[in-house]
Amino acid sequence: MSEFDKKIQPDPYATERISPATTADLDDSYQAFKSHEGEPIDPAEAKRVLRKIDVRIVPILFVVYLLQYLDKNSLNFASAYGLKDGTHLHGQQYSWLGSIFYFGYLWAQFPGGWLLQKLPIAKFLGVTTIGK
């Protein structure tokens, strides 16, 4: 085996180094998952679970995306109806006004990813989706 092949071979112990989670870091959902790991999945039950997820999550996503779209459009309409003149924006100031959303999104990426790993996922997603 060449040196290149040795480098790309998966390390059988890599999962232990990647995920050093202790039982204190895990929630009840993980324990339920581990206790039923390897059991066959009933296709009818899987379809019901997927439908339940779709019924609960898709409307929330629709509302969030709709609000994001309306927010961006309201900035465009405000510009057309005199926002620049009324607020005395000059040059690139209007462009920076539209970038505020993206800077906030960029700033929240690291803490959001960290909290997603540390908190129960259902509560975290509920707070971040509805609480914005």
Question: How much is the pLDDT for 22?
Answer: 61
Given this model, what pLDDT does residue 121 score?
A: 82
Q: What is the pLDDT of residue 48?
A: 93
Q: In Å, what is the CA distance from 44 to each residue of 32, 33, 39, 48? A: 20, 19, 15, 6
Q: Which two tokens stand for residue 130?
A: 């509805």
Per-residue model confidence (pLDDT) at position 52: 93
- Give the domain ranges of the chain: 3-130
Q: How far is CA 80 from the centre of its chain?
A: 33
The answer on pLDDT for 17 being more than 70 is no
The predicted model gives 29-52 an average pLDDT of 87
Query: Can you tell me the distance from the alpha carbon of 63 to that of 65, in angstroms, rounded to the nearest whole number?
Result: 6
pTM attached to this predicted model:
0.46
